Amino acid sequence: MLLRRVARPLFASWFVSEGLDVVRHPSAHAVEARGALIMLLDRLPAQATGGATSYELTDRQLTTVVQAHGVALAGAGILLALNKAPRTAALALAALTAPLVLVNLPRKKGTEGKPERQARRDRFVRALAFTAGAVLAAADYEGRPGVRWRVQRARLERAQG
């Protein structure tokens, strides 16, 4: 359908541009990732983390992880834009965007100024929206029956004779 041919590349463009930005400028993203790790470890009970702290990752290691995430985000976005394994690519994009939701979770009051809170909230809502969009794109069967329906149909046909 023409709508899918146009909508998928447009939808994927955000993932590709975000992934390339992370690869080209990883330091700011690594700082955000470090802050998210600290925040998540503070919110988890001590027995759940096994006493681990976010400082166990060096800055170089964290930068490498952030860049690898950016490469994966851009790669899956390109696959979706080119309509190559679109459901798998969309599912990968949903999984890769979930950490962006965690990174942009609202922080405790008083830790950020009003412009920083507004920017964080905007990034949080954007990440939620793109995660939901990727889930919807992954659920798109393009008018064809799913595997579950085909298996049930095959069983029914076999049982009938």
Residue range 97-102: mean pLDDT, rounded? 87
Looking at residue 72, its pLDDT comes to: 97
Global confidence as pTM? 0.77
Any idea how long the chain is?
A: 161
- Please give the residue that has the higher pLDDT: either 51 or 160: 160
- pLDDT tops 90 at residue 113: no
Looking at residue 23, its pLDDT comes to: 96
Gyration radius of the chain over CA positions: 20
- pLDDT-derived band at 14 (thresholds 50, 70, 90) equals very high
Candidates 50, 93, 51; CA nearest to 69 is 93
- pLDDT tops 90 at residue 22: yes
Looking at residue 1, its pLDDT comes to: 67
CA angle 142/131/71 to nearest 5° reads: 95
Q: Mean of the per-residue pLDDT values for the chain?
A: 86
Looking at residue 9, its pLDDT comes to: 93
45: DSSP letter: -
